[in-house]
Every structure is written in structure tokens, then in C-alpha cells.
């Protein structure tokens, strides 16, 4: 009988710690859901592809100025 009484408090402590952990986890999830900023809206000008060709004429002008 004494062995059973000793196990009971340790199980209760484990359950309480588990409950506290779950409550913190839920609280943190709710906080992070409300504090996340929405993704910014990107205009079409920013998204358009760049021209991969080098402008040799402009590079030569810059070289001559240096």
C-alpha cells in the first residue's frame, strides 16, 4: 500500500508539468499567430526579370571615368 501511495504523487506531478507545458505551448502558438506580420505586397516592377546581357557601352563609360 505504501508503494502505491508513493507513485501517486509522482504521477500527479508529471501530469501537472505536462499540463503546464501544453498551456505554454498553446499560449506561444496563439501569440506567434497574432504577432506575425503579413507578407508584403510586391509590385510587378520589382518582380520582372532582369536583362542578363551586360551593357558593354556603359561599362566602358564607367571605366573611362575612373
Residue 52 clears pLDDT 70, i.e. is over it: yes
pLDDT given at position 3: 63
Region 20-47: what's the mean pLDDT? 90
Residue 5 clears pLDDT 90, i.e. is over it: no
Can you read off the three cell numbers belonging to residue 28?
506561444
User: Residue written as cell 508539468?
Assistant: 17
> What's the distance, CA 62 to chain centroid?
42
Amino acid at each position: 500500500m505504501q508503494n502505491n501511495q508513493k507513485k501517486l504523487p509522482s504521477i500527479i506531478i508529471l501530469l501537472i508539468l505536462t499540463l503546464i507545458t501544453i498551456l505554454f505551448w498553446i499560449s506561444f502558438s496563439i501569440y506567434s499567430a497574432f504577432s506575425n506580420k503579413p507578407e508584403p505586397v510586391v509590385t510587378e516592377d520589382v518582380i520582372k526579370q532582369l536583362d542578363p546581357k551586360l551593357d558593354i557601352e556603359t561599362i566602358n563609360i564607367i571605366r573611362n571615368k575612373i
